[in-house]
Chains A and B, each alone.
Chain A
Amino acid sequence: MIPSSFTYKRAGSATEALDLIAEYGEDAKFLAGGHSLLPLMKLRLAAPEVIIDLGGLRDLSYVTDEGSYVAIGALTRHHDVENSELLGREVPLLAHAAGQVGDPQIRHRGTIGGSIAHADPASDLPAVLLALDATVVARGADGEREIAIGEFFQGLFETALEPDELLTEIRVPKPASGDGGSWSFQKFTQRAIDWAIVGCAVQDGHVALVNMGGTPLRATATEAALAGGASPADAAAHAAEGTSAADDIRATRAYREHLARVLVSRALTEASSRS
Chain B
Amino acid sequence: MKVDLTVNGKDITADVEDRMLLVHFLRDVADLTATNVGCDTTSCGACTVLLDGESVKSCTVLAAQASGHDITTVEGLATNGEMHPVQRAFHQEHGLQCGFCTPGMVMAIVSLLKENPHPTEEQVRSGLEGNLCRCTGYHNIVRAALAAADAEVPA
Contact = CB atoms under 8 A, between A and B. Distances in A.
Contacts of B54: 79, 108
Contact of A35 (B42, B111, B126, B129): B42
B41 A39 contact: yes
A108 B54 CA distance: 7
B56 interface: yes
Given A5-B19, A6-B19, A192-B130, A105 B40 contact: no
A38 B18 CA distance: 13
A258 B3 CA distance: 50
A176 interface: no
A249 interface: no
Contacts of A53: 62, 64-65
A31 B18 CA distance: 13
B60 interface: yes
Contacts of B130: 102-106, 192-193
B35 to A, nearest CB: 13
B62 A103 contact: no
Contact of A104 (B41, B59, B108): B108
Given A103-B129, A193-B43, A38 B64 contact: no
Interface residues of B, number: 31
Interface string A1-25: 1111111101000000000000000
Contact of A5 (B17, B21, B45, B61): B17
B140 to A, nearest CB: 20
B48 interface: yes
B127 interface: yes
Contacts of B19: 2-6, 8
Interface in B104-148: 108, 111-112, 126-127, 129-131
Interface of A: 1-8, 10, 31, 34-35, 38-39, 42, 51, 53, 55, 79, 102-106, 108-109, 191-193
27 contacts: A2-B21, A4-B19, A7-B18, A8-B19, A8-B64, A34-B61, A34-B65, A35-B60, A51-B62, A53-B62, A103-B130, A104-B108, A104-B112, A104-B127, A104-B130, A105-B57, A106-B42, A106-B130, A108-B51, A108-B54, A108-B55, A108-B111, A109-B61, A191-B129, A192-B126, A193-B43, A193-B130
Interface of B: 1, 17-19, 21, 24, 40-43, 45, 48, 51, 54-57, 59-62, 64-65, 108, 111-112, 126-127, 129-131
Given A7-B18, A192-B130, 12 more contacts: A1-B40, A1-B41, A2-B19, A2-B24, A5-B18, A6-B18, A8-B19, A42-B41, A79-B54, A104-B112, A105-B130, A109-B60
